Amino acid sequence: MKPLDVAAAMGMRVIFLPFKAIRGIALSLGSEKFILIDSGLTEMEQQLVCGHEVGHFLLHPDTNFLFILENTYFYTKHEYQANRFTCELVLGEKAELYECEIREAAVRGRLKEMVEIIWRLAGGDESGP
């Protein structure tokens, strides 16, 4: 599944902005949910970042972002969970076949590595993501 389509179907507004150091942000304003994504990322990177942020909304709906930043144990755990969510979302039913690879990608949390692993597992062509 494409995370950008999932976000739209769930009523989340996705906005692309030219960030310098941030890849994406999940933001709730009242009942509205926004996902802000770096417009300088590749399409595959944007999809993975979007899935990561959707994961935060679904897995950690009551978590305050500032609290996460101040408590590194929870930050690491929540980021891992959101990384894993986006990998599984993109791979769909294939995800259960690649448990070890997904865990590795989620633990590392480096966007470029996640793109390479997911691209390979999803059966991307030889030219790369």
Burial (CB count <10 Å: 0-12, 13-18, 19+), residue 80:
middle
> What's the rounded mean pLDDT across residues 29-37?
91
15 vs 104, which has greater pLDDT? Answer: 15
* Cβ neighbours, 10 Å, residue 14: 19
Amino acid of residue 101: E
Supply the pTM of this predicted model. Answer: 0.87
Q: Domain residue spans in the chain?
A: 3-121
> What's the rounded mean pLDDT across residues 66-84?
72
Q: What is the pLDDT of residue 81?
A: 94
Per-residue pLDDT reduced to its tens digit, 76-112:
888 899 999 999 999 999 999 999 999 988 988 889 9
Confidence of residue 74 (pLDDT cuts 50, 70, 90): low
**Placement of tokens 């941030």 in the chain:** 22
> What's the rounded mean pLDDT across residues 5-20?
96
